[in-house]
Amino acid sequence: MRLTDALDRFLVQLDADGRSIHTRRQYERHVGLLDHWLDSTDHAHSIERVNHETVAAFLSSPMARNRPDGKPKKATAMNSLRTSVRTFFRFAHAAGYVAQDPGRLIKRAITSPGPPRSLSVDEQDRLTDILAKGESFEDRRDAVLFGFMLRSGARVGSTVALNVEDVDIHAQEVRIHAKGDRVEKIYLSAETAEQLRTWIGERPDGPLFATRHGGRLTTRQVARRLGQWVEIAGIKRAASPHSLRHSFAMHLYARTHDVLLVKEALRHRSVASTLVYARVDGERLRSALG
């Protein structure tokens, strides 16, 4: 069986398991890179001919270790690649496509996660101030949209999926569609609830954050709009929609010093994902030590 045929079957299995399109695309990209490397090195494309030494040679190759621009990949990116290859071959072995698992010896490198890429309080204020000055439909929508993301920590995918009927202004709650098709509640401040009430107006349904013509915004459009506003606000560092989620979390942790509360606010399944916000608060340790 060709490796690409096994990959196609693996992607079907991921779909059957309910994995997201983003997860499936990452596996397709990573295992596809392995197939490309096999082709460039005249290795056999038959999955039965791939062994643990072949996999080690691939992971050690410049094709695996370098980005398309030739610069070395980050350690976290390499770990992601290792995980994809290991998971793929574990599936191939379990499915009976290979007698032995070629990825069984792969180990992730020990890395320390970097600090979250968030906006400082001053940068958040500058962004909010410049958003408030907009007058067009898109400007007013963006002010509510990015204000909501900054004050709720909602992911961009969940945000663009919101409908008007998901918002309960009276209860100051919004129902969001989280990872794994889970429906969860997020709580709104009185200020954010009032902004949403004004923005919704008399609309009974439809996308909460729509284009001028009523269509649903895409995550790509949101990212592009945010980049434009960040530039207008004179913020030098790059910022993505996920930066707003990080900014919310760091601000909440700075106010409460409560990791579990931040975990619940971000709707993390494990507190391990939330601990990164506690690690960056070195000033508390400096203060405690005198």
pTM: 0.67
Give the chain's domains with CATH numbers: 3-94 (1.10.150), 121-283 (1.10.443.10)
Q: pLDDT, tens digit, for every residue of 50-91?
A: 999 999 999 999 999 999 899 999 888 999 999 999 999 999
Q: pLDDT, tens digit, for every residue of 224-240?
A: 999 999 999 999 888 99
Q: Token pair of 41, please?
A: 């090195």
Q: pLDDT, tens digit, for every residue of 147-199?
A: 999 999 999 999 999 999 999 999 999 998 766 667 889 899 999 999 999 99
How many other C-beta atoms are found inside a 10 Å radius of the C-beta of residue 233? 18
Length of the chain: 290
Question: How distant is the alpha carbon of residue 95 from its chain centre?
Answer: 30
In angstroms, rounded to a whole number, what is the distance separating the alpha carbons of residues 176 and 165?
A: 11
